[in-house]
Amino acid sequence: MTIHLKIWRQKDSNTPGRLVDYTLDDVNPDMSFLEMLDWLNERLMNEGKEPVEFDHDCREGICGSCNLVLNGMAHGPYEATAVCQLHMRKYKDGDTIVVEPWRAKAFPMIKDLVVDRSAFDRIMAAGGYISVNTGAPADANAIPVDKYNADLAFDYAACIGCGACVAACPNSSASLFTGAKISQLAHLPQGNPERKRRVVRMVDQMAEEGFGDCSNYAECEAVCPAEISITSIAKMRREYFNALSEIE
């Protein structure tokens, strides 16, 4: 099949970028989207041109490396699918696809489709953990966790940290990402001792990194490949409010 691509090319953060047109006339429908980009890069290199840089690693939807906006949709048009798991058979012969990186002030440009997402690591360092040293904690079964809360904690813990939520949000908010971790730990008894300190520090760090706030657009939930629910944002707000009112 033939696919027309308009791909964002940018040398570095100091040089303006632009969309460049490419046409591939031998795309196999069984290729994944990233394999099509590999294919394009092979061709570019054989023509002596510079390949398109993009982040990728596991190519099975779990590492969160891939970060492409396709025709305005983070991770492309299919629900609960990271772009590495999107296959070309989902497109029609002759389709045009605009390929862009995540765009957010807190994710500075590195090159082409690669951006710097280290702000997420700093939000995690602000409090996305339980303070327990390696050693000899109590037996794993010493603290029972009811199945309902354990399953909910898992649902939130499934976040792959890709940043699609930020890319999709008109405010470039990282609320879904931050709320997912806060909600995971708030649903577990192990997370209780640091509950208030955690939410305040993580939310403050999110603002400091330059992410916007949440206005309940819910675009994040729509694009999340791990299907994280925006109830996590509601939970984060409730936790934050409770924490502030008591810390006062």
Partner 1 sequence: MTVSNNGTLNSRVPDGNLQDKWDNHKNNLRLVNPANKRKFTVLVVGTGLAGASAAASLAELGYNVKAFTILDSPRRSHSIAAQGGINAAKNYPNDGDTIWRLFHDTIKGGDYRSREANVYRLAQVSNSIIDQCVAQGVPFAREYGGLLDNRSFGGAQVSRTFYARGQTGQQLLLGAYSAMMRQVATGKIQMFPRREMLDLVKVDGKAKGIVTRNLTTGEIERYAGDAVLLCTGGYGNVYYLSTMAKNCNATAIWRCYKRGAQFGNPSFTQIHPTCIPVSGKYQSKLTLMSESLRNDGRVWVPMKKGDNRPPNEIPEEDRDYYLERRYPSFGNLAPRDVSSRSAKYVCDEGRGVGKSGLAVYMDFADSIKRLGADVIRARYGNLFAMYEKITAENPYEVPMRIFPAVHFTMGGLWVDYNLSSNIPGLYVLGEANFADHGGNRLGASALMQGLADGYFVIPYTLSDYLAENLHSEKIGTDHEAFDKAEKETTDRISKLLNVKGKKTVLDFHRELGDLMWDNVGMSRNRENLESVIKKISELREEFWKDVNIPGENNTLNKYLEYALRVADYMELGELMARDALDREESCGGHFREEHQTEDGEAVRDDENFSNVSSWEYKGEDKEPEKHVEDLNFEFVTPTQRSYK
Task: Give the one residue of 33, 120, 177, 211 binding partner 1; rule: CB under 8 A.
Answer: 120
We find the least distance from the C-beta atom of residue 243 to partner 1, in angstroms, to be 18
247 near partner 1, rule: CB under 8 A = no
CA pair distance 227, 180, nearest whole angstrom? 11
Task: Give the one residue of 16, 72, 147, 170 binding partner 1; rule: CB under 8 A.
Answer: 147
We find the least distance from the C-beta atom of residue 216 to partner 1, in angstroms, to be 27
Instruction: Report 67-106 residues binding partner 1 (CB under 8 A).
Output: 81, 85, 87, 89
Yes or no: say if 186 and 127 are a contact pair by the CB < 8 Å rule.
no
3-class secondary structure for 192-224?
Answer: HHHHHHHHHHHHHHHHHCCCECCCCCCHHHHHC
Residue number with CB closer to partner 1 (20 or 58): 58
Q: Which of the ranges 91-99, 151-159, 170-178, 214-222 carries the binding residues for partner 1, by CB under 8 A?
A: 151-159
Exposure string over 21-46, b if 16+ CB within 10 A, otherwise e: ebebeebeeebbbbbbbebbbeeeee
CA pair distance 1, 88, nearest whole angstrom? 9
Q: Which of the ranges 118-126, 165-173, 212-220, 228-236 carries the binding residues for partner 1, by CB under 8 A?
A: 118-126
184: its two tokens:
């995971």
43: its two tokens:
């061709």
CA pair distance 74, 67, nearest whole angstrom? 7
Per-residue x/- track, 6-35, partner 1 (CB under 8 A)? -----xx---------------x-xxx-xx
193 near partner 1, rule: CB under 8 A = no
The values of phi and psi at residue 127, to 5°, are: 170, 5
Yes or no: say if 180 and 157 are a contact pair by the CB < 8 Å rule.
yes
We find the least distance from the C-beta atom of residue 215 to partner 1, in angstroms, to be 27
Instruction: Report 52-71 residues binding partner 1 (CB under 8 A).
Output: 53, 55-60, 62-65
Residue number with CB closer to partner 1 (191 or 212): 191
